[in-house]
A and B are shown apart, each in its own frame.
Chain A
């Protein structure tokens, strides 16, 4: 498995200084990202943070107003076929035409991809329990999502791009989607990019994450490093305090009286030393979840 060492091959997606403006409103501001090959990249952010806009740049649906976007080293707007034939995409809206039947849309999509594997497509169709004669508009939301997932996977893409794949879906379908993601990256060299605001999924699956807030990247790091650099400590002071004293790297603090809980980013040792200097006892220490990290990072900005 790829560890992201310094001699790794060229990143699958390279975005540099990307800006995007819609009607005087900045959807993306100076965004730079690298997505290395062979891993799962989680893009997180609240609704309207710019995740879908960013993904559309990767697909070539938006041209870069400033900066550059390269996928597999190619510009997606200039050469859509080269990029898109190696890429599988599942949109947030899942807007596949409702009048088609399942068999028809599989047949239609198949014509576009030289690398389409009909046996794999059939295997997925049976696994997802999709009736080929059913019309897409008669399918439930979960079934429609499974169809979109099938269409994104069947040609065995090098890069799988999923925009909010689990939104609005029940746990059974979500399981299918997560399984598909796991299976995809288990095969060497394939990369997954998915955006989600369900952080427990991102926590389980991502190697690297980027937090997008109001169009800016506020965090872009390997998930392990993120987990190790954030700490939650509860300190007990000798006397009751109305205002907690500052601690190095503190992002958030709450509590009252003698006990105060800090969410800090940075070196754990510095933290403990500072606590000792303030003659406070460390009562509890834990690793904050990605949810907490996200909320505090976003609130701070």
Chain B
């Protein structure tokens, strides 16, 4: 599992770990039911205190994003779980909030943003069609 820590991000390390794990789950790089590295392994890989990783895993577990099976390690929670979905919603809402704040600061209004979103979606669809026609 590839996690990259920013030293002077201003964000505490455990939080960075949590965010990156959540992002990887949300983007599909970590599949439901997949095992996360052990606390010790991840601590050695990132060169951070195992307590920090333990805290991150603990809070992820409280949020329902991962589940800890006794003596067997930590696993990504099944996607059907309502808490996991709640986490995913929270993540995406954060992104939307940030998008809107930045857009407004740059002088765009809600209509502009919606139009831009639709335009991006069309572009993605178009690209997918092109890929299919090349096969």
A and B touch in the complex (CB under 8 A): yes
Chain A residues in the interface with B (C-beta under 8 A):
1-3, 39-40, 175, 178-179, 182-183, 185-186, 200, 203-207, 224, 227, 232, 286-289, 291
CA distance A289 to B48 in the complex (A): 15
A-B contact count (CB 8 A): 56
Closest to B5 in A: A204
CA distance A205 to B49 in the complex (A): 4
Cβ of B95 < 8 Å from any Cβ of A?
no
Say yes or no: A175 contacts B10, CB within 8 Å. no
Say yes or no: A287 contacts B11, CB within 8 Å. yes
Say yes or no: A185 contacts B49, CB within 8 Å. yes
* B47 cross-chain contacts in A, Cβ below 8 A: 175, 178-179, 182, 204-205
Say yes or no: B51 contacts A182, CB within 8 Å. no
Q: Which single member of B8, B44, B51 contacts A39 (CB below 8 Å)?
A: B51
CA distance A231 to B88 in the complex (A): 28
Q: How far is the CB of B13 from chain A (nearest CB, A)?
A: 7
Given A1-B51, A39-B51, A207-B51, the answer on whether A182 and B43 have CB atoms closer than 8 Å is yes
Say yes or no: B8 contacts A289, CB within 8 Å. yes
Cβ of B32 < 8 Å from any Cβ of A?
no
Cβ of B98 < 8 Å from any Cβ of A?
no
- Most A CB atoms within 10 A — which of B40, B44, B49? B49
* B interface residue count range (under 10 / 10 to 19 / 20 to 34 / 35 or more): 10 to 19
Closest to B50 in A: A186
Cβ of B54 < 8 Å from any Cβ of A?
yes
- Most B CB atoms within 10 A — which of A205, A207, A289? A205
CA distance A16 to B32 in the complex (A): 52
Say yes or no: B51 contacts A204, CB within 8 Å. no
* B13 cross-chain contacts in A, Cβ below 8 A: 203-204
Given A204-B49, A205-B48, A207-B49, the answer on whether A186 and B10 have CB atoms closer than 8 Å is no
Say yes or no: A185 contacts B12, CB within 8 Å. no
* A206 cross-chain contacts in B, Cβ below 8 A: 49
Closest to A204 in B: B48
CA distance A204 to B52 in the complex (A): 9
Cβ of B7 < 8 Å from any Cβ of A?
yes
Given contacts A204-B47, A286-B10, A289-B10, 11 further A-B contacts (CB under 8 A): A1-B54, A40-B49, A178-B47, A182-B44, A200-B8, A204-B46, A204-B48, A204-B49, A204-B52, A205-B48, A291-B8
Closest to B13 in A: A204
* A227 cross-chain contacts in B, Cβ below 8 A: 12
CA distance A182 to B13 in the complex (A): 15
- Most B CB atoms within 10 A — which of A179, A200, A204, A286? A204
Say yes or no: A288 contacts B48, CB within 8 Å. no
Say yes or no: B8 contacts A182, CB within 8 Å. no
* A40 cross-chain contacts in B, Cβ below 8 A: 49
Closest to B15 in A: A287
CA distance A253 to B12 in the complex (A): 22
**Considering the complex, which residues of chain B in the window 10-52 have a beta carbon less than 8 Å from any beta carbon of chain A?**
10-13, 39-40, 43-44, 46-52
CA distance A185 to B5 in the complex (A): 21
Closest to B51 in A: A1
Say yes or no: B12 contacts A287, CB within 8 Å. yes
Query: 6 pairs across A/B with beta carbons < 8 Å?
Result: A1-B50, A182-B44, A182-B49, A287-B11, A287-B12, A289-B8
* A178 cross-chain contacts in B, Cβ below 8 A: 47
Q: How far is the CB of A173 from chain B (nearest CB, A)?
A: 13
CA distance A186 to B12 in the complex (A): 20
Closest 10 CB pairs of A and B: A286-B10, A178-B47, A186-B40, A204-B48, A287-B10, A1-B54, A200-B7, A205-B49, A289-B8, A1-B51
